[in-house]
Amino acid sequence: MHVYESTTNLADMIREAALSSGVKTEYKVEHMESHNYNASGQIGAFGEGASASNNTFNQIWSQHSQELNLEQLAADLGMLRAAMQKEARSADELISASDIAKAEIEATKGNGPASLEHLKSAGKWALDMAKNIGTEVAKLAISQAMSA
């Protein structure tokens, strides 16, 4: 974990470090007090007024890729998508099913980071459905993506 004291150029320093590494990143701020920031994980934007978009889940994928077989994930997501489409009753549930379909497509292509990115958007209903129908790999992947 890195602790950064706020300076007038903190956001610029973090952006430069992220850009120079050539890795698109994501961050999770665990604690913020006054102008002291404590963060862990991938950092794409950090500090007062910072923003980031279009990030990828490369680091998160690398941490979990040994546990997640993409072929099995794609199969589980296909079953989950079909069950969700059958059960969807609201616009939000249809959007969640769409996120699962996008994750399924990316898993089929072998793109684990993009699959996790879509799974994070799928939300709690997708996780609950995965638990209910017994798609264990999908359940694990959604849980890991949501906690990222």
Strands 28-33 and 2-5, by their bridges, are unpaired
pLDDT averaged over the chain? 77
| pTM of the predicted model as reported, rounded to 2 decimal places | 0.61
Tens digit of pLDDT for each residue in 75-106?
A: 999 999 999 999 999 999 999 999 999 999 99
Sheet of 2-5, strand order: 2-5, 36-40, 28-33
State phi, psi for 32 to the nearest 5 degrees.
Answer: -140, 125
**Average pLDDT rounded to a whole number, residues 116-134:** 95
Q: What percent of the chain has pLDDT over 70?
A: 55
Q: C-alpha angle with apex 145: 139 to 148, nearest 5 degrees?
A: 140
Q: Which residue has the higher pLDDT, 141 or 16?
A: 141
Q: How confident is the model at residue 128 (pLDDT cuts 50, 70, 90)?
A: very high
Q: How confident is the model at residue 118 (pLDDT cuts 50, 70, 90)?
A: very high
So what's the pLDDT on residue 19?
A: 58
> How distant is the alpha carbon of residue 56 from its chain centre?
8
Half-sphere exposure of 79 (CA within 13 A, CB side): 16
Query: What one-letter code names the amino acid at 135?
Result: T
